[in-house]
Structure 1
Amino acid sequence: MAGGVAAVTLGTTKAATASSPDVFVHGVASGDPTPSNVVLWTRVTPAPGADPGSGIGPDCAVEWEVSADPQFRQVVARGRTTTGAWRDHTVKVDVAGLAPDAWYWYRFRALGQVSTIGRTRTAPALGAQVDRLRFGVVSCANWQAGYFSAYRHLADRDDLDAILHLGDYLYEYAPGEYQARDVVVRPHDPPAEVITLPHYRRRHAQYKTDPDLQALHARLPFIATWDDHESVNDAWAGGAENHTEGAEGSYADRKRAWQRAYAEWMPVRYELGGVLYRRFTFGSLADLSMLDLRSYRSEQVSSRFDQDIHDPSRTITGDAQLQWLTSGLAQSQAQWKLIGNPVMIAPVRFPSTLSVERRRALGELTGTPVIQGLPMNLDQWDGYAADQNAVYSLLRDQGIQDTVFLTGDIHSAWAADLPSSPRDYPRDGNSVGVEFVCTSVTSDNIDDILKVQPQTVSKAIVGAIKVNNPHIKYVDLDSHGFSVLDVTRERAQMDWYALDDRTVRGSAAQHVMSYAVTTGTQQIHRVEEPVR
């Protein structure tokens, strides 16, 4: 499926004047491709002062059209809709009736202006023979910590089918609360921690003004899920580590606010009150299940010694989503079962032999509330043993093969087998799947937390992690960047790319590592060269 189309300049014919604001200042986007449908998105500014989160501005008619060519000589779908302050003047259209496995171009018109031209692609037909899929994979893009050069590098490629965004598309912190080694590269708007609906809308809008993110959205469809920073740090169903009832209002109100803003501002097939977890099928080659691990989870335990970790009533997925996930895995007819997974599912036992400072840094990186010993990240699947065991047992007992978890959250790169019994691995050689974890786009990692040069102190930490976890084959605790996942009949391969400097706009990027899993093996191996 990857490739097969010539590079195209995605231009614009906008013509703003002093009395008529730039109507399409937040760009265009597409997402959630199926064989016949794709979601198109934009935001209009209908009048001066009708800014995101303002709650003011007139209703506005918006026209859209989709073409089989970038010159719009072969328009295949068009329509008209109305937006207004009730949805922050965003526009989201689920276009139907498209041909499968096809590139399309789209644009919007409003108030005499024409938007940037975007490009998107539908998924292959159900059951179709597909030889290859290639996705950009990203997570954890903190505006205050640097520039989104990783997005630019992905937008410059012409061999990708879609972008998988695994969460932390934005951050909720106020200026000065979380940035690059305690330096604010560019301050957040609004200049406060976002709590209310107007504030979440403004924060989404700020991120949508980034030129590299706009370029990537205009270039490729996104398949996205949220993690915690689209809402608030370490969120769970009824609260969050960084939310204080009373001082910051009701968490239920805050949850409705961030979910509504996400529904308005992201090109996802989701509206407030619905479910974000969903599945995409790419012919007979792969299924992709995108998880929501914040809306339904039980509160995190406070200590590694807390026996509630093993309480079967505690959940990270919620009962309905777990049933949806496990039944989907069991019934899948696709060769590869890909899972967009916001937090790590591989078991991780952090070493207790590290210095207090290094243990503290690992604790800050992972959100683990205890320092002594640091045996696990309690915000990950490790803190929810019943759900973790349910997935592992299903894969093992039903002999389900070629399962790949694609994960974000932890601001670092990991490649791991998923051992049926971590205590007996690799002696018994039983792995039920694999996991590839992408780095952060900009968010701090170990070298930033410790304020040291990359690949210095972290080497000792990585060595200790691998000794304690022989199923983990690769860890990079220092890089920022992006990944590319290439899926064929023979194997699934992840390539990691690192930025030279996230604080420099236009930073170069270098390939740093590749790992792959051969079909039927459930075990990863190193690959010397990235996909071309």
Structure 2
Amino acid sequence: MTPLNRREALKLGGAGVAVAALAPAASHAAPPTPYFQHGVASGDPLPQAVVLWTRVTPTPESLPGSGVGPAVEVGWQVAEDAAFTTVVAEGAFATGPERDHTVKVDVQGLRPGTAYHYRFSFQGEPSPAGRTRTAPAENADVESLAFAVVSCSNWEAGYFGSYRLLAARDDLFGVIHLGDYIYEYATRAFGTGDGGAVREHFPAREIITLADYRQRHAQYKTDPDLRALHARHPWMIVWDDHEIANDTWSDGAQNHDPATEGSFAARKAASRQAYAEWMPVRFGDGGVIYRTLRFGQLAELTMLDLRSHRSKQTTGLAVDDPERTLTGEAQMEWLKSTLSGSRTRWRLVGNSVMIGPLVLGSLPAEVLGPLAELLGLPSGGYSLNPDQWDGYTADRRELLGHLNGEGIANTVFLTGDIHTSWAIEVPLKAGSYPVSPAVATEFVVPSVTSNNIDDILQVAPRTASLAAEAAIATTNRHVRWSELDSHGYGVLTVRREQTRMDWYFLSDRTSPTATSRKAVSFTTESGSQKLKRAWG
């Protein structure tokens, strides 16, 4: 590692202040340095540790996915102040083409509940500075924490205004990203409602190989708003399907043709390797990504992997098959044990696909009681979207039955995937709700950019969607609110006696200077499993 002199340290200190105070204003600036073109990031904060990330471009030919370039060492520092006068940890990380010149350091020995500044260096050149923080100590009596909640950011469908606006906030602990961080499609294959693209994917083809996935991750991290949000707050992330291919299951995907695209196992391995290289996330033994993060006595966040172990999507009676699974047996047992063993006030579940049941136009089959069997109806009702928990009713019954049977309160599912906004009281049995109790609540956040109903139909917002929202309200008494048109983000505030989700909607996903407005807020009180509209 080349030591930084005082002049360089002051230079980095200034960069740290700029990231902390002015990141959104710099959203259209050129990449910060030739060596650090993809910014910096942090993630998975623990009381005494946090993951730091960057990528170095040591030579002009060392491009993402190229597989060429020298092996190098990149320096890193963590400090208590933006000027880096009080450095608390530092070191060097060896990287090269075998890991696409990415750098990922799991820094240990930090103080709980503390904000830090960090930076990298190569050949005396500083990276942009980032700001991160550690989680509170496990026994800390935390009064409140706020998290950004986002998902589904398709590069071609618009600009990442949600990221820019969240980077401007100073009231957030961190960012919970629920998946579809990148999209795998070829250019113009899944863009705006008319099939166009606000900006085009690179590479232009559908990504399949390790080099492809590396290049697509690299492209996303050239977005100035994404870089700003990564530099401003630690992220807690998990993948959904588009990090590999649409509607992924354990051994295949809707958007994968073995005859023309080769082995799905090879594609899956390539996508996972690129994700591990390019994202500030920890993996467990065997590449397991489901994990738990704790925030004092206030909350525990459980991030689920609902793609790696699931059975292939199906419809009809097969959705009830107990041999089919969404979570996989090991993850289900771990999840139930984690929820039962939690000693925090709130249990937050990062859940990439909606768990609340959904029917339209008819009552769920369970209402028919014994006639369901005679009529050959699936006991959980017909599934409108078999990619969600609706397509895996045995797993859902097991999990919700566990919450009910163990008397586990204050479970809040945080969900993305479906590009729309929902507030749901998760029922033990939807057909007899509210006689059957609610065992959890669910907040579904909209997409950052990806298509919703009005985009797909190419109609004005708040036109065709209104009929769908009315039908949802009529036959789903547990759905307290839905909005099927807008793009944006959520902000979850967790307090001892209440959690609150505020939904923010963008003025225009295709504008690089979009604004947002707070649209609605729902709360759930400790011990209630019920939702109350608090604003809007």
TM-score by length of 2: 0.90
> 1:47 matched to which residue of 2?
59
2:258 partner amino acid: E
Q: Higher helix fraction: Structure 1 or Structure 2? A: 2
> 2:534 matched to which residue of 1?
527
What's the offset of the Cα at 1:429? 5.6
CA distance in 2, matches of 1:269, 1:346: 28
CA distance in 2, matches of 1:98, 1:273: 27
What's the offset of the Cα at 1:111? 2.1
| 1:10 is aligned to 2:23 | no
What's the offset of the Cα at 1:398? 1.0
* SS of residue matched to 2:19: coil
* SS of residue matched to 2:348: strand
What's the offset of the Cα at 1:8? 4.0
* SS of residue matched to 2:230: helix
| 1:277 is aligned to 2:294 | no
Deviations 1:207-229 (A, max 9, x none): 00000000000000000000000
Residues 392-411 of structure 1: pairs in structure 2 closer than 5 A: 392-411=400-419
> 2:246 matched to which residue of 1?
233
| 1:145 is aligned to 2:152 | no
What's the offset of the Cα at 1:21? 7.5
| 1:318 is aligned to 2:328 | yes
| 1:346 is aligned to 2:356 | yes
CA distance in 2, matches of 1:21, 1:453: 42
| 1:466 is aligned to 2:478 | no
* Structure 1 runs (4+) greater than 3 angstroms displaced: none
Deviations 1:109-159 (A, max 9, x none): 012210000000100001210000100000000000000000011000000
Contact 1:21 1:46 in 2 (8 A): no
Identity of matched residues, %: 53
CA distance in 2, matches of 1:272, 1:264: 16
> 2:344 matched to which residue of 1?
334
Contact 1:260 1:271 in 2 (8 A): no
What's the offset of the Cα at 1:311? 1.2
Contact 1:259 1:272 in 2 (8 A): no
The number of equivalent residue pairs is 493
What's the offset of the Cα at 1:434? 0.3
CA distance in 2, matches of 1:201, 1:352: 45
1:392–1:453 Cα change, 3 Å: same
What's the offset of the Cα at 1:272? 9.1
What's the offset of the Cα at 1:271? 7.3
CA distance in 1, matches of 2:98, 2:165: 35
CA distance in 1, matches of 2:188, 2:256: 18
1:174–1:278 Cα change, 3 Å: same
CA distance in 1, matches of 2:285, 2:200: 29
* SS of residue matched to 1:512: strand
* SS of residue matched to 2:260: coil
1:255–1:272 Cα change, 3 Å: farther
CA distance in 1, matches of 2:474, 2:510: 33
What's the offset of the Cα at 1:336? 0.3
| 1:207 is aligned to 2:215 | no
Deviations 1:345-384 (A, max 9, x none): 001113369xxxxxxxxxxxxxxxxxxx974210001111
* SS of residue matched to 2:360: coil
Residues 372-521 of structure 1: pairs in structure 2 closer than 5 A: 375-426=383-434, 428=435, 430-521=437-528
Contact 2:383 2:390 in 1 (8 A): no
TM-score by length of 1: 0.91
CA distance in 2, matches of 1:507, 1:231: 29
Give the CA RMSD over aligned residues.
1.7
| 1:309 is aligned to 2:319 | yes
Q: Which runs of 5+ in 1 are unaligned?
A: 1-6, 13-19, 354-372
CA distance in 1, matches of 2:502, 2:69: 45
* SS of residue matched to 2:60: coil
| 1:253 is aligned to 2:263 | no
* SS of residue matched to 1:9: helix
**Which has the higher mean CA deviation after the structures are superposed, 125-134 or 202-211?**
125-134
CA distance in 2, matches of 1:343, 1:275: 18
Q: Which runs of 5+ in 2 are unaligned?
A: 1-15, 23-31, 364-380
